[in-house]
Structure 1
Amino acid sequence: MNNKNFNLSGKTRSEHDLLGNMEVPVEYYFGIQTMRALDNFNISSSRLYHYPHIIVALSDVKAAAAEANQELGLIEPIIAKAIVQACKEIRKGKYHEYFVVDMIQGGAGTSVNMNANEVIANRALEMLGHSKGEYTYCHPNNHVNRSQSTNDTYPTAMKIALYRSIGDLVDTLRNLIVAFHEKGKKFSGVIKMGRTQLQDAVPMTLGQEFEAFAATLEEEVLLLERNRKLLLEINMGATAIGTGINADPRYAEICTRHLAEITGLPVVKAENMIEATSDTGVFIINSSTIKRLAVKISKICNDLRLLSSGPRTGLNEINLPPMQPGSSIMPGKVNPVIPEVVNQIAFKVIGNDLTVTMASEAGQLQLNVMEPIIVFSLMESISILIKGLQTLRKKCIEGITANEEHCKNMVLHSIGLVTALNPYLGYETSSQLAAEALKTGKGVYELVLEKKLMEKEKLDDILKPENMIKPRKMS
């Protein structure tokens, strides 16, 4: 940990745990167990404070537990009140800088749980008129962690954090969908060639292409919303392995009720607490859903790069906003850097999904100790996707323009027009026309008239681009 983030006086307080004593700077709201985690797990550059939703969810869970314990007469009201008040302050953004443990850690989340317990306990102590570390009056384990285990508080808090984070992702995705719909309307009159297998197919409008982008993403909104609801089944009261040891028989229901009131979310107690404590299926399905979104977004970015390729030797149907010079050696080159970066985000999300899968499979018996890497992978995927979708919308989609005349000319000179003649001339004749057009360089329109296969008036009507972009009754 970098101490420069805190104003330290040099004074310390002595704390102890089962491994011995340690001096803790008096300014720190966290204590000895968080200090040990900092020493043991200096693994990544990602700390709890990078993910505010996690910190807020932890405070929600601890407040609900305190209220349940007070209701059951297990904690003195004055202590419970101080814990709840400390949690409210954390929920408002205070003391987040003291949630310092690494997102990647051993111990199934114990370091995260104890980091929260210590910060909340020390802030509660101040409210009670005591100094940090005077745990006789409010103890991280005896009071803040009463009736709990890491194995129920950690997954419950992580589920709430993920539920809210996915909500943020959905909001960001909706904004991107609106941008695609707006371009769909703007480009509704731009005729272009559709393509299959990178070969000319049949005409369509650029508007239809962008509306399809919007539609495929709207499917993801529905799926994300549906699957994140599965995160609302929690196991508070399960304690260590789901049997509820050290918890009052009424605690699980009461704590769940308080948590629903605090969060405003319809959380429900799991029917089988042993299963709920060891199973990570809900993380797998939500990771898979996020991966599916990443795959679709990446495909769209591939399309944008193809459609804007050139400008002289590619498709050049659309122009992406120029964001930066594209080469240190080739003057005038501008690259599709925004779709490129979103592609790379998608690759990372896909990799994170594999991590979630492997970590979920690694669970053993009554607990999956790999939940920290599961949560980190999911939170990272959501975070970078949100930033990527915002960047794609603001720096790319909203500024796209169409090369309308170029698109139209490619339609008029495309051999793909022969497909529209197939119902009238038959497959064999149409195939011969296509082959001859390709060989001679003549247009399909020109060859039909030359061979007197159709009257000009009827041919003109069939080959009107606007007549080829939707179903039409044959006459």
Structure 2
Amino acid sequence: MGTRKEHDFIGELEIDDSVYYGVQTFRAVENFKMTGRTLKNYPFFVKAFAQIKKAAALANKEVGVLDAQKADAIAKAADRLINGEFIDQFVVDMMQGGAGTSTNMNVNEVITNIALESMGHKKGEYQYLHPNDHTNLGQSTNDTYPSSIKVATHEKLGHLLEAMEELKKELEKKAKEWKDIIKMGRTELEDAVPTTLGNTFNAFASYIKSDIAKIKAARESMAVLNMGATAIGTGINCHPDYKFVVEKKLKEITGVEFKPAEDFIAATQDTADFVHVSGALKTAAVRLSKIANDIRLMNSGPRCGLGEVNLPKMQPGSSIMPGKVNPVICEVVGEACYEVIGNDVTIMLCSERGEFELNAFEPGIAYALFNSVIVLENAMRTLAQKAIKDLTANPEACKNAVLNSIGIVTAFNPVLGYEKSASMAKEALQTGKSVADICLERGYLPKEEIDKILDPKNMLNPQMKSKK
């Protein structure tokens, strides 16, 4: 198709005429070769940016600073991006210098050139519609970029919450199914006192329920935008009514109740909202990793481990040991959680580096935050579908562990006292005898009383009687 000439204040470049991006995008592609992951790998971010640009164009038309033909052409071009077209034109690396200017210009240039063609012009004929003067009218990277991150994150958190609800339901099913299966509780990897497999999985479900609430609360901060702040929050080069209209237009486009920040200057330089969301994601990752690892340990065996539950057999586990099956789903979920935890550090450091009126490290925040939401959603769904859904229990193995445990000596404390109970535990460890037999041999209690004390069902509930 040949080439076209485009220029910026640095100079002039030949641009392949088949592409819809322009000179500033081209420079960014040459300058930023960091992750190998470009905007097109995050289509939800491109969609969010296009929604912002459409809202801006329609707001500028309504307040009378952009004529209807140009505004409508921009809005229709943005609609095509919202619908997933032209995604291959978003070629800038997610990790970039310049506070996101290259991303903003990639979007501005693509929308402008799509709009130019719809108006009967050629790509690059910016005298008819300009990426900066029209598509970016009343805007700055410093309000469109963080606002687009928030719009994108708000949507993706919705998907994450759906995945978390799915996992919670699967855990609750197991908790109900296994409510009567007695198992040994453990503290510090040592025998403690009895519980049920149902209790264990109900606790797991409670973790997820708690994290759903935390993420929902953090998500609310993603609906507070600084559109209309322009460069540093003062609204320079922006119509005074624009900031009110653009929020209304964005709500019409997305269906979400986005609202303007109370203090645009503070909102333009402060990225703590992203730290808040990342913190909620990190908490969920920590808990999810614990769930996955506990199940991995309960599954250990099949004959020389705990063997309390059976994970679905997903794939052969060894290239040398026939018949070996590894708990790969629990392991990959743990790895995903570690990435989220690491990303939280990145987000914290990038946020802390904001100086004066702008945080130049927002691209690092966007990259880490998006990756955290994506990988955590995948981890939640993977554990639910490939581990919990078809997980089975070994009731006999659970019961035998309780009956053979020395930890049940704790149940004798209220009757015999700590010293006698500890002495029985010591002898049981040295001789291999059961604590019940030792108690009977020493004549501490009759067999009927011992059997009653060591009934697993009795050990699951408070038994101490009032002395009044």
Report TM bin, short chain: over 0.9
Shift of 1:327: 1.9
Tell me how large the CA RMSD over aligned residues is.
1.4
Task: Report SS of the residue matched to 1:193.
Answer: strand
Structure 1 residue identity aligned to 2:47:
V
Q: Does 1:275 align with 2:266?
A: yes
Q: 5+ unaligned residues in a row in structure 2: which ranges?
A: none
Corresponding residue number in structure 1 for 2:88: 97
Q: Does 1:294 align with 2:285?
A: yes
Corresponding residue number in structure 2 for 1:4: none
Between the aligned partners of 1:209 and 1:445, the Cα distance in structure 2 is: 26
Shift of 1:460: 2.3
Matches within 5 A, 1:56-455: 56-455=47-446
Deviates more, 1:430-439 or 1:172-181: 430-439
Corresponding residue number in structure 1 for 2:5: 14
Q: Does 1:30 align with 2:24?
A: no
Q: Deviations over 1:384-423 (max 9, x none)?
A: 1112222222221212211211111111111111111221
Structure 2 residue identity aligned to 1:132:
K
Q: Does 1:47 align with 2:38?
A: yes
Q: Deviations over 1:297-348 (max 9, x none)?
A: 1111221221112222221211112222222222222211111111111111
Corresponding residue number in structure 2 for 1:6: none
Alignment size in residue pairs: 466
Task: Report SS of the residue matched to 2:402.
Answer: helix
Structure 2 residue identity aligned to 1:223:
K
Q: Does 1:468 align with 2:464?
A: no
Task: Report SS of the residue matched to 2:284.
Answer: helix
Between the aligned partners of 2:75 and 2:301, the Cα distance in structure 1 is: 61
Task: Report SS of the residue matched to 1:313.
Answer: coil
Shift of 1:473: 5.6
Deviates more, 1:430-439 or 1:111-120: 430-439
Structure 2 residue identity aligned to 1:195:
R
Structure 2 residue identity aligned to 1:298:
S
Shift of 1:174: 1.1
Task: Report SS of the residue matched to 1:24.
Answer: strand
Between the aligned partners of 1:399 and 1:203, the Cα distance in structure 2 is: 25
Between the aligned partners of 2:105 and 2:419, the Cα distance in structure 1 is: 76
Between the aligned partners of 2:106 and 2:211, the Cα distance in structure 1 is: 35
Between the aligned partners of 2:106 and 2:462, the Cα distance in structure 1 is: 63
Structure 1 residue identity aligned to 2:446:
E
Equivalent residues of 2:414, 2:464 under 8 A apart: no
Deviates more, 1:431-440 or 1:47-56: 431-440
Task: Report SS of the residue matched to 1:101.
Answer: coil
Between the aligned partners of 2:461 and 2:312, the Cα distance in structure 1 is: 30
Shift of 1:156: 0.5
Between the aligned partners of 2:145 and 2:92, the Cα distance in structure 1 is: 14
Task: Report SS of the residue matched to 1:194.
Answer: strand
Between the aligned partners of 1:342 and 1:18, the Cα distance in structure 2 is: 49
Task: Report SS of the residue matched to 1:323.
Answer: coil
Task: Report SS of the residue matched to 2:233.
Answer: coil
Shift of 1:208: 0.8
Between the aligned partners of 1:241 and 1:19, the Cα distance in structure 2 is: 24
Shift of 1:126: 1.9
TM value normalised by structure 2: 0.96
Shift of 1:272: 1.4
Task: Report SS of the residue matched to 1:256.
Answer: helix
Structure 2 residue identity aligned to 1:65:
A
Between the aligned partners of 1:473 and 1:199, the Cα distance in structure 2 is: 24
TM value normalised by structure 1: 0.95
Report % sequence identity: 50
Deviates more, 1:17-26 or 1:407-416: 17-26
